[in-house]
């Protein structure tokens, strides 16, 4: 028996990719700071707010794939951390920590599949412990957040 997929079965209107555009975002040392993704590569259902709250609001209950990369400017001191938070609360639903690298900028990535309920919102929090302010590098393919509905 062969099963054929119809176009309606594989369409997904719920996906977004947001990124930091134009200028770097300064992050104070030892401070949890919301990443201000201020531009979008795509947002097929207008669920990402790239001008005020910098967050994705979940349109339908289901399983979502979330991927995020944050690239910090060059600095050889301290840790870099990226958290994905649901509804602005702790604990994070995903987190990644990495050591600094004096030779080049440091990218920290986090990703996974999570179950979310309609109305939940997702935010990205960055933290660095260099001893001073440190920038998140602004570029579409260097600091970004992807969210895609996988299944309901």
- 19-45 pLDDT, tens digit per residue, is 999 899 999 999 999 999 999 999 999
- How does residue 94 score in pLDDT terms, banded at 50, 70 and 90? confident
Q: What is the pLDDT of residue 77?
A: 86
Token pair listed for 92: 């994070």
Q: What is the pLDDT of residue 101?
A: 67
- How does residue 50 score in pLDDT terms, banded at 50, 70 and 90? very high
Residue labelled with tokens 């910098």: 54
User: Contact at 8 Å (CB) between 129 and 20?
Assistant: no
Residues with Cβ within 8 Å of 8's Cβ and at least 6 positions away in sequence, in order, are none
At residue 10, the 3 state secondary structure works out as helix
CA-atom Rg of the chain in angstroms = 17
Q: What is the pLDDT of residue 105?
A: 78
Q: What is the pLDDT of residue 8?
A: 58
Residues with Cβ within 8 Å of 33's Cβ and at least 6 positions away in sequence, in order, are 25, 27, 125, 126, 127
Angstrom distance (rounded) from CA 116 to CA 152: 10
Sketch out the chain's domains with CATH numbers: 21-151 (2.60.120.40)
Comparing 64 with 7, the larger pLDDT belongs to 64
User: Contact at 8 Å (CB) between 93 and 86?
Assistant: yes
Q: What is the pLDDT of residue 10?
A: 64
The sign of the torsion formed by the CA atoms of 138, 133, 33, 150 equals positive
**How do residues 102-147 score in pLDDT, each as one tens digit?**
667 788 899 999 999 999 999 999 999 999 999 999 999 999 999 9
């Amino acid at each position: 028996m062969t099963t054929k997929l119809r176009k309606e079965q594989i369409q997904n209107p719920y996906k977004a990719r947001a990124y930091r555009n134009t200028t770097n975002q300064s992050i104070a040392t030892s401070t949890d700071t919301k990443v201000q993704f201020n531009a979008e590569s795509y947002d097929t259902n207008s669920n990402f707010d790239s001008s005020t709250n910098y967050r994705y609001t979940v349109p339908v209950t289901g399983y979502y794939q979330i991927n995020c990369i944050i690239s910090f400017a060059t600095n050889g001191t301290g840790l870099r951390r990226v958290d994905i938070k649901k509804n602005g609360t702790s604990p994070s639903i995903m987190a990644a920590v990495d050591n600094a690298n004096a030779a080049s900028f440091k990218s920290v990535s986090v990703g996974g599949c999570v179950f979310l309920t309609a109305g939940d919102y997702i935010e990205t929090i960055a933290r660095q412990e260099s001893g001073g302010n440190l920038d998140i590098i602004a570029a579409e393919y260097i600091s970004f957040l992807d969210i895609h509905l996988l299944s309901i």
